[in-house]
Structure 1
């Protein structure tokens, strides 16, 4: 279970949110400026809350009362950004290996094959990122994150930089990953259609506050 109850002052913007989730895909939904990326950055450990507590499966990651802040590399949380952030000088295979090696993990051939098959990227392994479409780059970034064996995967608007054709191409892979149930996810989006198709529960945000939460049925009822 993911539990987040934090406050953070970011210039003139005050973020004060609280939610818990044990769903397969927790959707953070809201317009630009609602605080979605700030929340995932705190979950990842890239930003420290001013006040509050974050825990994952019973392990406390942040606790302002005790001064605890677990560093990002010790959280075992994967992060896929809107831009894939692949290393341009490395092949797809080398990019896939990077997260595993940086986390000191041995080669797990069955897990690698499962991930490559799940994301349908086996035919791309010898290519460089510049030779990939936007959707292919995101699938490789997702594979790299998965092979680091995270206990939670953060997806910060992973479809946001793609055109409609590429979104239609890649969304089924995210759905396949959800149904594979190998790792829980936090999915950030301002697109209600994406959220309805992928999320199993939704946290609605507006100006740094939670305005509704529940199943995807909350989406049509809050602006």
Structure 2
């Protein structure tokens, strides 16, 4: 598969956004800058302004004030009177529902955008997309004969064949059940890794973001509250109300360090030690992002003996949540890697936990499921070129 990378100098492969618009009772004021490479996830609660923000990028919604530039090209500038029409922005858009043309076959849907791209600008070809999305057997079907997952694969393919400079995805998995989500996620990973397609990905699912995203944009009540790596933002206690308290946890960057075939376990190495997780069919050295939920971490003052828990990681208590409730969140430092733990306030007092105290984080191997993992290999290399 041919990698479709922009030819600009790495410093110009950026998306810069600074826009404002009143949307009913919501005042959208979004400002951020990120590399136009890998996947940038826009995360926030319903009504935070995520879809409106992406619609402004696409040209479907006009800001009242501001500026949008992509790879050095101005798409919108209120002061300069620039508002590039949607069809000339060369941005692909994948919606929740797919929005395929019902009267066209899959082949016809794929060809719709492709035919409108000048021949000398067709970096991505039909046969490439058919193979990438694994839809050769679907080409003669109509959308009514497709499953939800198949429709989204076709929608992805159609967006790609428009040969976009940037792909916008507005909660593309929200309307699918978990088996269909599991079907689509590998194809989105292939867009990121094999085609180096820069993507802005709107989602309210932290599972999807951990698996897919490189950069995280947190938006709340119309304002961008933080921009950074998934690992950095999910490790911050102050951002917990935005990243989701119930599903709160830390994200670790790891690498496959060993395979225990006898017991069906894989050993992962990270800055603070090693983790044993259910078997992963991955080669040694494979980079992997792992999400550990705070509610799956227990605390011990000394290393336990005669226990079924395989992961016992020596840590230092870095911070303790200050809210008054029956549960307390702890931020732990494991050799430079952040881990969260959620325990009862009673346990916190009984153990006399405080910043600076040495403890052991106890994590059950079976608590780290496949929904908590995301491969990081080629996407990280592409981003490294932008540094």
TM-score, normalized by the shorter chain, greater than 0.5: yes
Unaligned runs of at least 5 residues, structure 2? 1-13, 242-387
Q: Whose relative contact order is higher, 1 or 2, with alpha carbons under 8 Å and at least 6 apart?
A: 1
What's the counterpart of residue 26 of structure 1? 40
1:219 aligns with 2:234: yes
Q: After superposition, give the CA deviation of every residue in 1:26-72 in whole Å (9 maximum; x if it has no partner).
A: 10001101110011100001111111100000000100111111110
Matches for 1:9-48 after TM superposition, within 5 Å: 9-22=22-35, 23-48=37-62
What's the counterpart of residue 167 of structure 1? 181
What's the counterpart of residue 63 of structure 1? 77
Q: Please report how far the alpha carbon of residue 130 of structure 1 lies from its aligned counterpart in structure 2 after TM superposition.
A: 0.9
SS at match of 1:102: coil
SS at match of 1:154: strand
Residues in 2 aligned to 1:41 and 1:138: alpha-carbon distance in whole angstroms? 19
Answer whether contact 1:100 1:106 (CA < 8 A) is retained.
no
Q: After superposition, give the CA deviation of every residue in 1:151-204 in whole Å (9 maximum; x if it has no partner).
A: 000000000100111111111110111111342110000000101111110100
Answer whether contact 1:105 1:148 (CA < 8 A) is retained.
no
1:209 aligns with 2:223: yes
More off after superposition, 103-112 vs 5-14? 103-112
Residues in 1 aligned to 2:110 and 2:230: alpha-carbon distance in whole angstroms? 32
Answer whether contact 1:203 1:210 (CA < 8 A) is retained.
yes
Matches for 1:1-223 after TM superposition, within 5 Å: 1-22=14-35, 23-105=37-119, 111-217=125-231, 218-219=233-234, 221=236, 222=239, 223=241
More helix by share: 1
Residues in 1 aligned to 2:235 and 2:203: alpha-carbon distance in whole angstroms? 15
Residues in 2 aligned to 1:114 and 1:61: alpha-carbon distance in whole angstroms? 29
Residues in 1 aligned to 2:85 and 2:121: alpha-carbon distance in whole angstroms? 25
Q: CA RMSD in A?
A: 1.7
Unaligned runs of at least 5 residues, structure 1? none
Residues in 1 aligned to 2:175 and 2:193: alpha-carbon distance in whole angstroms? 24
Answer whether contact 1:24 1:181 (CA < 8 A) is retained.
no
TM-score using structure 1 length: 0.95
Change over 3 Å in CA distance of 1:179–1:111 after alignment to 2: same
Change over 3 Å in CA distance of 1:168–1:29 after alignment to 2: same
Q: Please report how far the alpha carbon of residue 102 of structure 1 lies from its aligned counterpart in structure 2 after TM superposition.
A: 3.5
* Higher CA-based Rg: 2
Q: Please report how far the alpha carbon of residue 143 of structure 1 lies from its aligned counterpart in structure 2 after TM superposition.
A: 0.3
Residues in 1 aligned to 2:198 and 2:25: alpha-carbon distance in whole angstroms? 33
Change over 3 Å in CA distance of 1:142–1:128 after alignment to 2: same
